[in-house]
Amino acid sequence: MKFLKVKLSGCFNSFRYPDFHTYHKTLPLPTKTTISGMLGAALGISPEEVNEKWLKPKRFEVGIVGQSNGKSNDLWQIRKYKSDNINKYYKGEIDKPYFTSVIMRELLYASRYVLYFHFENEKDYIEIEAAIKNPDWALSLGREDELVKIDNVCMIELNQKENIFFQNTVIPIDISQFQYTIDKEYLEKAEGNLLSLRPYVVKLPISFNYNEDSSRVAGVYQTYSFIFNLPVQIDNLIGWIDEKENTAFCLI
């Protein structure tokens, strides 16, 4: 199967876990919607256009592999405005129309990623390769100022394989519903909190619906499993191996 392989790196990146509010915990790897935002920046189109032209029609699939060298926390103080406070402010009843709140954002440090894009339309390979190499807007993963550097872009051919170990990747299933085997040799050598190595299951949106005011709500959801450093082999799950990078992945 043909893939557009993109190797990239970032200094600080974050992929917000949707169930956290005042503490913005990050997922370990970018989601498909986050990656589609990067494609939109490369093409110079809006998030809404990306959603309608690329996400909803499932115009691309992507394999995601990567890891970071640590984490840090970013402390924000934000202003929240409410209509009642605004009205009271204009009546002179209060000194300011907002109140402040503190938010903690978790960031991944010194991350490296390999993305494997697959398109059904041959023209999309050409369009996306050209856009990534010469993007219209700055490329980021996470927030718009969490920039990434493109290290390499190339076309490759890979064959499907069974009974492979997945590590530092995302798979489009709930792994808790499948039989899987862990790499016992790796586990015996592992240090620190072993629970932090377990696969992580989360339900995430894969496309959105936009309102008239351009606000968006999640449309369709998909359950994913994030595999960390601990290699796991899932029964009957077929994937691809990139021997040059020593990586294995599924398409999502």
Write the pLDDT tens digit of every residue in 154-180.
Answer: 999 999 999 899 999 999 999 999 999
Q: What are phi and psi of 156, to 5 degrees?
A: -140, 160
* DSSP type of residue 51: I
Contact 177, 201 (CB under 8 A): no
Going from the C-alpha of 20 to that of each of 1, 70, 222, 223, the distances in angstroms are: 38, 20, 18, 17
Residues in a beta bridge with 142 = none
Tens digits of residue pLDDT in 40-52: 999 999 999 999 9
Report whether pLDDT(82) > 90: no
pLDDT tens for each residue of 176-217: 999 999 988 888 887 777 777 889 999 999 999 998 887 889
40 Cα distance to chain centroid? 14
What's the CATH number where 60 sits?
A: 3.30.70.2660
Q: What is residue 205's three-state secondary structure? A: strand
Domain that residue 245 falls in: 2-249
Could you tell me the pTM of the whole model?
0.91
Structural domain total, the chain? 1
